[in-house]
Amino acid sequence: MSERPDSAGPDPDDAFDEFEELVEEETRRDPDLAVIEAGSRTLRAQGGPPQADVPARPADPEVDKALREVEAELATRWGETKLEPSVDRIAALMDVLGEPQRSYPSIHITGTNGKTSTARMIEALLGAFDLRTGRYTSPHVQSVTERISLDGAPVSAERFVETYQDVKPYVEMVDAAQECRLSFFEVLTGMAYAAFADAPVDVAVVEVGMGGTWDATNVIDAGVAVVTPIDLDHTDRLGGSPGEIAGEKAGVIKPQATVVMAQQPVDAAQVLLKKAVELDATVAREGLEFGVLDRQVAVGGQLMTLRGLGGEYTEVFLPLHGAHQAHNAAVALAAVEAFFGVGAQRAEPLDIDTVRRAFASVASPGRMEVVRRSPTVVLDAAHNPAGARAAAAAIGEAFQFSNLVGVVGASGDKNVRELLEAFEPVFAEVVVTQNSSHRAMDADALAAIAVEVFGEERVQVEPRLPDALEAAITLAEEEGEYAGGGVLVTGSVITVGEARLLLGKG
């Protein structure tokens, strides 16, 4: 489609001509049907689903070099899985930076699964209501710059490098005064809070790294605390039951805040409610004060009716798949309503058209994300049993695969058996592999568990991820081009990120 020289957008006349050509092309069949189909095809060509905002490597060699140097320096620090139960170091960094995290209100998100997608939905809603947002999420899918977003998009590589250089002298001051240096995650958290203050943002949407009480993000006093579903993960650090894990995650609840709770296991809910009472916090519970009233599968996502704190929101389209994403949407909506005082200071709901526009714009890279067709390849970053169950249900609902092949590369510290068991009913075959992380489970060790779950004839081992993808695509194609073969790549955010790159995304 050609473009006018004085405009960045498509020429409407050209679009009309293309529409007319398509109608003429189809008129030999049913004229009315031809008009409908031509219009649909034209709209798809101009619109399409929201594009996932995963940045590629910088095109400028100097910028790329500078970013790699920053990444290399960050990599010398404690990784995200090595923790010390203390916020002393990050508090010291905030102190020397001048407490940037207190210059804007915050929404703090904890839970086991769904945090990043919920954060993205909250960000989209706030942005649609003309607020400048900062979003801090982890881990990243492909680029470390994804973790810090302004105005709904990751900061540029240049800004990421500049922010690091700005805080580096203060980081070194804190390093010198502490028994242990600041960790990778603590430095990034400091960078995010400083970048948000420098922007400046109207509100920060902050996802915890792990837990809550001792998480590096927990130096903010968020007026809204969000708790997505709690399940078993990181049990060696957070506890062996949902109730124990909830005790750690409840640390994000601050005095007189509003707590927005997704549906929880009974013991987790009890712990969270007790903490809320102790801190005189207001609680909004999914299934009682808010929730999903109705959802229907739609092309490219789902159509929802949500009950918020201020009333019903009908015909809300979400371009993400799965019941779990509808529940994330309900939580996100309630969190934004709470931030604006709906249900407390004001009774009327948020503007429905603005809410619809916001949800329709949401993208969540690596979460039921289609990255290829013929055969269809879907990426999902499920890395624990609860996430795997949600992904298995979503792919069965949203896609009609007659031959679904799994590519699984997991971390060695996860409950891999239960993860594989969740996928066993939906995978015809599974190709086990490993990603490049030092935490990756050895492919042969993963295969041994997979054989016990799937049977030897359904398991193939390909230690290299490129070979695993090729093998899975070949297996999916065996039934023929129109037989409904598909591939789901899952098991780890790192596996999904590396697969995304290999498949030409970013």
User: Is residue 303's pLDDT more than 60?
Assistant: yes
**Dist CA 468 CA 490 (whole Å):** 12
**Dist CA 225 CA 331 (whole Å):** 11
CB atoms inside a 10 Å sphere around CB 331:
31
pLDDT number for residue 461: 97
**Amino acid code (one letter) for 245:** I
DSSP code string of 423-466 = HTTT-SEEEE---SSTTBPPHHHHHHHHHHHH-GGGEEE-SSHH
- In the chain, what is the straight-line distance between the N-terminal and C-terminal CA atoms, in Å? 24
**Dist CA 442 CA 434 (whole Å):** 6
Share of the chain above pLDDT 70, in %: 86
> What is the chain's alpha carbon radius of gyration, rounded to the nearest angstrom?
23
User: Is residue 149's pLDDT more than 50?
Assistant: yes
Share of the chain above pLDDT 90, in %: 73
Contacts of 170 (CB under 8 A, 6+ apart): 93, 96, 97, 190
Mean pLDDT of all residues in 438-464: 95
Mean pLDDT of all residues in 20-37: 39
Kindly state the tokens that stand for 381: 């970053």
> Coil, strand, or helix at residue 440?
strand
User: Is residue 1's pLDDT more than 80?
Assistant: no
User: Is residue 245's pLDDT more than 50?
Assistant: yes
Residue 388 and residue 489 in contact, taking contact as beta carbons nearer than 8 Å: no
Nearest alpha-carbon partner for 102 in 238, 215, 194: 194
Banded pLDDT at 319 (limits 50, 70, 90): very high
Kindly state the tokens that stand for 455: 């049977």
pLDDT number for residue 317: 98
Banded pLDDT at 129 (limits 50, 70, 90): very high
Mean pLDDT of all residues in 264-270: 92
What are the distances in angstroms from CA 217 to CA 10, 82, 188, 342? Answer: 44, 15, 10, 26
Residue 447 and residue 408 in contact, taking contact as beta carbons nearer than 8 Å: no
3-state secondary structure string, 327-352?
HHHHHHHHHHHHHHCECCCECCCCCH
Mean pLDDT of all residues in 171-195: 96
- The predicted model scores a pTM of 0.86
Residue scoring higher pLDDT (494 or 414):
494
Q: What angle do CA 152, 409, 67 make, to 5 degrees?
A: 45
Edge-to-edge order in the sheet of strand 403-408: 369-372, 376-379, 485-490, 403-408, 429-432, 459-461
Banded pLDDT at 472 (limits 50, 70, 90): very high
User: Is residue 174's pLDDT more than 50?
Assistant: yes
pLDDT number for residue 85: 76
User: Is residue 478's pLDDT more than 50?
Assistant: yes
pLDDT number for residue 237: 59
User: Is residue 252's pLDDT more than 70?
Assistant: yes
> Coil, strand, or helix at residue 52?
coil
Banded pLDDT at 236 (limits 50, 70, 90): low
User: Is residue 9's pLDDT more than 50?
Assistant: no
Banded pLDDT at 52 (limits 50, 70, 90): low
Contacts of 136 (CB under 8 A, 6+ apart): 147, 148, 149, 189, 192, 193, 196, 204, 205, 206, 207, 217
Q: How many helices (H) and strands (E) does the chain have?
A: 17, 17
Banded pLDDT at 58 (limits 50, 70, 90): confident
Q: What is the mean pLDDT of the chain?
A: 87
**Dist CA 54 CA 96 (whole Å):** 32
- The torsion of the CA quartet 62, 64, 70, 71, rounded to 10 degrees, works out to -160
Mean pLDDT lowest among 313-322, 459-468, 473-482: 473-482
Nearest alpha-carbon partner for 141 in 43, 82, 56: 56
Banded pLDDT at 53 (limits 50, 70, 90): low
Mean pLDDT of all residues in 195-200: 98
Identify the DSSP state of 500: H
CA dihedral sign, ordered 287, 291, 296, 300: negative
Kindly state the tokens that stand for 80: 């995200």
Residue 57 and residue 142 in contact, taking contact as beta carbons nearer than 8 Å: no
Mean pLDDT of all residues in 230-246: 71
User: Is residue 263's pLDDT more than 70?
Assistant: yes
pLDDT tens-digit map of 88-121: 999 999 999 999 999 999 999 999 889 999 999 9
pLDDT number for residue 482: 52
Banded pLDDT at 35 (limits 50, 70, 90): very low
pLDDT number for residue 38: 35
Residue scoring higher pLDDT (479 or 189):
189
- Give bridge partners of residue 153 from the DSSP assignment: 150
Mean pLDDT of all residues in 316-337: 97
pLDDT tens-digit map of 328-338: 999 999 999 99
Banded pLDDT at 348 (limits 50, 70, 90): confident
